[in-house]
Structure 1
């Protein structure tokens, strides 16, 4: 029997029990944090050897250049060839940068706004209106970029195989729609991986704006929770074959593979897009941290080395995701007051509670000492029209703390649902 089927007597009895559970939860004086998908200390320790690399006297890249000096905006060949092989792209279409691919995304949209990109008729700031497609639930930092630049965000639903393509195609017929956010593998926060069909449709679809761009944020391309790595589809090839060679701005990075904030980022795109980007990047700076790039190349060695490291991460993360899913099922499954994704990779679980109660769940959790990402954070302007979605980030806490937190979250979900039913 679901909670919605309880008669008044049963609901009253269950309400008393849940309120007692919540009162006991608050007496524990918890200080637990599930707000962001940060690697745990154990995961960061996997890359400890990186701190000693490339090592004293090792400062020459594969082309014989001294990585300690200025220059080489495209990054060193050592790491570029390694990453190009990993994600299946041509090395000539890949640039290695500094630690954050988010910085590159911000640059691309900012420069398009200020100057226009290589297919723009005019700078975006001079357009009457600029709009951007945002699959939801999605990545809050993506939405913050478009919000900051004054770009109007329009949402489309995420389905089991990617964004609703009927909605995407319809929006792309508007010339004011200049682009789209995507996280195509183990999406944040749902864990969805786009199907090959969806990838092809995005590459081939007609767009009214000639400078339409898809930010292909492949942040979790190899972040599996199992021993299976998902396919990485050749979207640049799909787009080129369809006559849309400049459609994709692809990102990747080592930030959740080695050390967050001290990794290497990658930008993959067409020849024309890269030429436009490098021209402006040469004004912004003289070159990336090539010492760090060489250190990463030495650390990984080859693609098998990268996948071995990801196996270590999976061994750390998978038990945490398993416990979260077990607790959600044990505590909430029979009452049907919530639904959640069951990702096979990435860093998040997307939790949908009864409409109108997500913000109350977050509030109750905060009062009990459990910090959750704010309700609506996975939507543009933090506005979830149904007030139902909460992003869970299991990676950082130890398993024992995670169990405490999730048991508490389940109690808060039940209490919020009961409060709504009692009104």
Structure 2
């Protein structure tokens, strides 16, 4: 159900009488949605059932139980993961096979383990464990990924923010912060960022890789979760952070993460960690104290399912065919309903899983509240900021992949009505 309205005009151009009438129009439209008894969800970037069906053949694999080198994958060993699968994803991620390991299903677990090992033991280039060095801070580009922030918070690591520009994090702001030795690292989703959809340019990546930092063991946790999730025929290439860091004399600075969680089965995929060969040896050295090897049976089934890198690319084209119409619908409805009113801006991502919507400052929480009452669940306002606190109360992350296209359209019609109502209430009250 979509309630159409009269031709739109910027709220700032309305007289007080026209604004009052506009508020009543939006409230009436909103009440119709409330009465409709909707139950729709745009909260998290999950693959839809249709996308999961693309990988159904995995459930009949592997055929046999022997890897390319003759190893029985049912047994212990192979801490770094199946060599042929590591080589396949090394090609896709632009690293050398010796710079990558394949683990369990969760890249977030690899990120957590990396931070814990840094805290307890220090890194390859550390003088000692981080935990004994006093206050620790991480740079967090915003808007960013809420699970990154939650992980830092759980470990007692303070967060400082920098803006995400069109080509990546604000480098000038980052360079100023890293003059402080307590700033030990930064997060970055470099390709089709969460939730902005921004891709870090090669130039920005080079500056991050080469900049001088007061902490000699400064880390860039490079979460390349969406490197293969293109929404157009133009496949944006991720910056080669490992080569850039090595060339600049900081080979151990980046630790790269990726996974197949949104490629095959979210609960039964394969996660990857990449870095300098010394970083990989450091990580597996600690990993070996808690594991005798990952699920190589799952590695083998993924290897047989994809075959090679082109098999992955062909599989991702099928994903794109399913989710691109949903992103198109989001942009179409936002444009039709909001553009002329000048109360919101939003991203038009070329890949990834999210649209980042900025509404009038001070209204994001109200939009989410209104949407909930009308039966549409949105990610909490502020989720894309540390501690869930957006200082401007302006950002809302939209995740259109999970629902069917018809439900995406219905949900977005409610969202735009809520944006307009919250904006009109705000303008009227000011």
Report the TM-score range of the alignment, normalised by the length of the smaller protein.
over 0.9
**RMSD after superposition:** 0.8
State the SS of the aligned residue for 1:288. Answer: coil
Distance 2:283 2:229 in 1: 28
Contact 2:200 2:239 in 1 (8 A): no
- Measured after TM superposition, the shift of residue 77 of structure 1 is 1.0
The answer to whether the aligner puts 1:174 opposite 2:180 as a matched pair is yes
Asked if 1:39 corresponds to 2:47, the answer is yes
Q: Does 1:104 align with 2:110?
A: yes
Q: Could you tell me which residue of structure 2 aligns to residue 204 of structure 1?
A: 210
1:279, CA displacement in angstroms? 1.1
Secondary structure of the corresponding residue to residue 386 of structure 1:
coil
Per the alignment, residue 288 of structure 2 pairs with 282
Offset at residue 115 of structure 1 (A): 2.1
Q: CA separation in 1, counterparts of 2:249 and 2:75?
A: 40
TM-score when normalising by structure 1: 0.98
Q: Report the Cα offset of residue 233 of structure 1.
A: 2.4
Aligned residue for 2:273, secondary structure, equals strand
- Tell me the equivalent position of 1:295: 301
Q: How does 1:8-87 map to 2 (within 5 A)?
A: 8-55=16-63, 58-87=64-93
Deviation at 1:406, TM superposition (A): 0.3
Alignment correspondent of 1:329: 335
Distance in 2 between residues matched to 1:118 and 1:93, nearest whole Å: 14
8 A Cα contact 2:137 2:182, kept in partner: yes
Contact 2:190 2:238 in 1 (8 A): no
* Structure 2: 5+ residue stretches without partners: 1-8
The SS at the match of 2:92 is helix
Q: CA deviation at 1:382?
A: 0.5
Residue aligning to 2:146: 140
Residue 409 of structure 1 corresponds to 415
The aligned counterpart of 2:4 is: none
Q: 2:253 aligns with which of 247, 251, 271?
A: 247
Q: Secondary structure at the match of 2:17?
A: helix
Once residues 189 and 203 of structure 1 are traced to their aligned partners in structure 2, the CA distance between those partners, rounded to angstroms, is: 23
Deviation at 1:317, TM superposition (A): 0.7
SS in 2 for 1:283: coil
**Residues 197 and 348, structure 2, Cα contact 8 Å, conserved in 1:** yes
Match of 2:198 in 1: 192
Q: Distance in 2 between matches of 1:60 and 1:16?
A: 68
The alpha carbon displacement at 1:122 in A equals 2.6
Counterpart Cα distance in 1 of 2:289 and 2:119: 17
Question: How far apart are the structure 2 equivalents of 1:83 and 1:116?
Answer: 27
Number of matched pairs: 421
Contact 2:362-2:392 at 8 Å conserved across structures: yes
The alpha-carbon deviation at position 390 of structure 1 amounts to 0.2
Query: Structure 2 matches for 1:125-136, cutoff 5 A?
Result: 125-136=131-142
How far, CA to CA, are the matches of 1:28 and 1:86 in structure 2? 46
Question: Alignment partner of 1:146: what SS?
Answer: helix
Shift of 1:197: 0.3
Q: TM-score, normalised by structure 2?
A: 0.97
Aligned equivalent of 1:348 = 354
Alignment correspondent of 2:168: 162
Q: Is 1:377–2:358 an aligned residue pair?
A: no
1:6 to 5, 14, 22: 14
Listed one character per residue, the Cα deviations across residues 384-413 of structure 1 (whole Å, up to 9, x for unaligned) are 000000000000000111111000000100
1:233 aligns with 2:274: no
1:304 corresponds to which residue? 310
SS at match of 1:106: helix
Residue equivalent to 2:225: 219
State the Cα distance separating 1:5 from its structure 2 match: 2.0
Q: Secondary structure at the match of 1:20?
A: helix
1:116-156 Cα offsets, whole Å, 9 max, x none, are 22222232221221000000000000111101001010000
Note if contact 2:142-2:163 (Cα within 8 Å) is conserved in structure 1.
yes
Equivalents in 1 of 2:315, 2:135: separation in Å? 45
1:212-257 CA-to-partner distances (Å, cap 9, x unmatched) read 1000111111100112211122211111111101010001111101
